[in-house]
């Protein structure tokens, strides 16, 4: 793991009051090795450490008060610079704006098309339309329809026509007629780069003149990702990269090299299978993440977005009056679930990421609890004190759980309620997240 490796190198620096030229060189060698292990291209890694060395010596790192910290800062800033410095936006000026997806099969194009449509719709108040141009497998069209339905965005598809250029042009006509301002074209990929796929997508690009051609790549494919990016870029001259499957602990090496090798910005990252698991790519944050500082900024933003202020205040009042009940509890569980994959969220917290790497937290973690609460009557939910043995038995049967599980939940709920009195709404929420263990 790159973060761990870098951390270890930096510890050497941090541990010593004074850095000598020799241990700067040693550390940089370590940094380079760590980068190579994280799938960073050799040339990129070498250039990177050379730059850091020049910077470090230029900034008199050897005589600095806190040389270790200065080194970490230099490495951090250079990493961010290497990945493009600042976040890059989509250029959507066409009427409608057209976004073309490209990439290998399984890279995450269809999933990302849905995520992007959802993001444009909910955050930028656009009215997008999805277009199915992966016509070789009926399942692919069906998959896009499912994704579209999930995010409430219409999908244009032609079941008989196999000419993707025609389909896309028809779709654009339809979008104009129906007032859609963004058209997202999902395409077919092959398992590896091949000539007929390249020809098809290049011809499609010529036919529809997209505002943005995005290259979608699975970040778990490491060095291969870089080679694939190069081949697609040579052919399509795409505008930006989407790095998918950057969930939790995935190595970020591909992000570093792709940017240098194809000199195109990374615009988005995918961090999970859910439609909400999309983030604008921030080089600074990615540098933090690679250095193992935890992507706290993203985490806080995500939490804020999903956690309704009003709801928090209402909850706080109830807690203060000791009126927090199972209905509130259920609502809170729904809030937490909305925030996306729990493990993914938790992994962004500094120090937690590594600790929970092998722990199995999934979105089903709350299923038992939810079933139990849903089997309670309204009175039982608002007045948990009425829960006697026979009621608990009935609830266990109704929820397909056991009396022990019901007892455990009621006991934990009581404890939580007591503790909650002492804390605020947001803290309460994190406490609930812990309760399901
Ligand atoms: P396509 O062939 O390029 O259209 O790829 P798909 O969108 O069908 O995605 C292939 C698989 O990767 C599916 O199982 C997706 O659920 C999964 N996937 C896509 N994006 C992500 C992501 O960001 N994280 C994770 N964990 N899985 C993803
Ligand atoms: Mg697909």
Range of the domain at 154: 97-293
Same domain, 165 and 267: yes
pLDDT at residue 437, rounded to an integer: 43
Residue 73, CA distances (Å) to 33, 61, 70 in order = 19, 11, 5
- What integer pLDDT is reported at residue 17 of this predicted model? 47
Same domain for 131 and 28, yes or no, is no
118 with 250, same domain: the answer is yes
Same domain, yes or no, for 16 and 122?
no
Query: Is residue 187 situated within a structural domain?
Result: yes
C-alpha to C-alpha distance for 93 and 213, rounded to whole angstroms: 14
Whether 132 and 195 map to the same domain: the answer is: yes
Please report the pLDDT score of residue 86 as a whole number. 81
Whether 113 contacts 186, CB under 8 Å: yes
> Which 3 state secondary structure label does DSSP give 214?
strand
Q: Own/partner pairs for 154-160, CB < 8 Å, 24+ apart?
A: 154/129, 154/130, 154/180, 155/129, 155/130, 155/131, 156/129, 156/130, 156/131, 156/132, 157/131, 157/132
Ligand 1 binding pocket mutation candidate from 104, 111, 136 (most atoms within 8 A of CB): 111
The ligand 1 atom at the shortest distance from the C-alpha of residue 103 is: 3
Domain boundary pick from 35, 59, 82: 82
Closest CA to 412 of 401, 400, 420: 420
Alpha-carbon gap, residue 361 to 352, rounded angstroms = 13
CB 226 within 8 A of CB 258: yes
Quote the ligand 2 centre to 4 CA distance (angstroms): 34
Specify the length of the chain in residues.
437
Residue 89 lies in a domain: no
Ligand 1 neighbours (beta carbon < 6 A)? 103, 105-111, 189, 244-245, 247, 270-273, 277
Shared-domain flag, residues 287 and 308? no
In a shared domain, residues 310 and 430: yes
Find the CATH number of the domain harbouring 417.
Answer: 1.10.260.30
pTM: 0.67
Q: Ligand 2 centre and the CA of 190: distance in Å? A: 10
> Mean pLDDT, 10 residues at a time, over the chain (437 residues)?
59 54 73 74 85 80 62 81 85 94 95 98 95 90 96 94 93 97 94 87 96 94 84 95 81 74 91 92 81 52 55 70 80 69 59 51 70 91 91 93 91 76 54 51
ipTM of the shown complex: 0.99
124 and 56 inside one domain: no
Last residue of a domain, one of 293, 314, 342: 293
DSSP assignment of 330-371 equals: HHHHHHHHHT--HHHHHHTSTTHHHHTTTS---GGGGHHHHH
Number of domains the chain is built from: 3
Q: Given this model, what pLDDT does residue 420 score?
A: 63
């Amino acid at each position: 793991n790159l973060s761990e490796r870098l951390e270890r190198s930096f510890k050497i620096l941090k541990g010593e009051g004074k850095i000598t030229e020799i241990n700067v060189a040693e550390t940089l060698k370590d940094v380079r090795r760590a980068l190579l292990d994280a799938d960073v291209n050799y040339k990129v890694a070498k250039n990177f450490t050379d730059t850091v060395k020049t910077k470090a010596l230029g900034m008199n790192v050897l005589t600095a008060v806190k040389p270790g910290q200065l080194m970490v800062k230099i490495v951090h800033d250079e990493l961010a610079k290497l990945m493009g410095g600042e976040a890059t936006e989509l250029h959507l000026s066409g009427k409608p704006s057209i976004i073309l997806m490209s990439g290998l099969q399984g890279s995450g194009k269809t999933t990302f098309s849905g995520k992007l449509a959802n993001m444009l719709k909910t955050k930028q108040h656009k009215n997008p339309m999805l277009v199915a141009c992966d016509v070789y497998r009926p399942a692919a069209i069906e998959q896009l329809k499912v994704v579209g339905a999930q995010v409430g965005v219409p999908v244009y598809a032609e079941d008989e026509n196999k000419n993707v250029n025609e389909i896309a042009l028809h779709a654009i006509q339809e979008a104009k007629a129906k007032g859609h301002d963004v058209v997202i074209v999902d395409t077919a990929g092959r398992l590896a780069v091949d000539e007929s796929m390249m020809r098809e997508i290049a011809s499609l690009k010529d036919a529809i003149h997209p505002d943005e051609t995005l290259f979608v790549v699975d970040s778990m494919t490491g060095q291969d990702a870089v080679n694939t990016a190069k081949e697609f870029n040579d052919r399509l001259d795409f505008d930006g990269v989407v790095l998918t499957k950057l969930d939790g602990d995935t190595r970020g090496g591909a992000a570093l090299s792709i940017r240098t090798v194809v000199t195109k910005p990374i615009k988005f990252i995918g961090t999970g299978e859910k439609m909400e698991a999309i983030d604008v790519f921030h080089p600074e944050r990615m540098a933090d993440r690679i250095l193992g500082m935890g992507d706290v900024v993203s985490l806080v933003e995500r939490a804020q977005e999903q956690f309704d202020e009003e709801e928090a205040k209402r909850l706080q009042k109830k807690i203060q009056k000791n009126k927090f009940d199972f209905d509130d509890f259920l609502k809170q569980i729904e809030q937490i679930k909305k925030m996306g994959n729990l493990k993914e969220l938790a992994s962004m917290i500094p120090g937690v990421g590594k600790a929970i790497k092998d722990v199995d937290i999934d979105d089903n973690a709350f299923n038992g609890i939810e079933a139990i609460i849903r089997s309670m009557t309204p009175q039982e939910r608002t007045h948990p004190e009425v829960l006697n043995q026979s009621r608990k038995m009935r609830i266990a049967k109704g929820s397909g759980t056991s009396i022990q599980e019901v007892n455990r939940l009621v006991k934990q709920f009581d404890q939580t309620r007591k503790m909650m009195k002492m804390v605020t709404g947001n803290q309460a929420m994190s406490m609930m997240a812990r309760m399901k263990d």
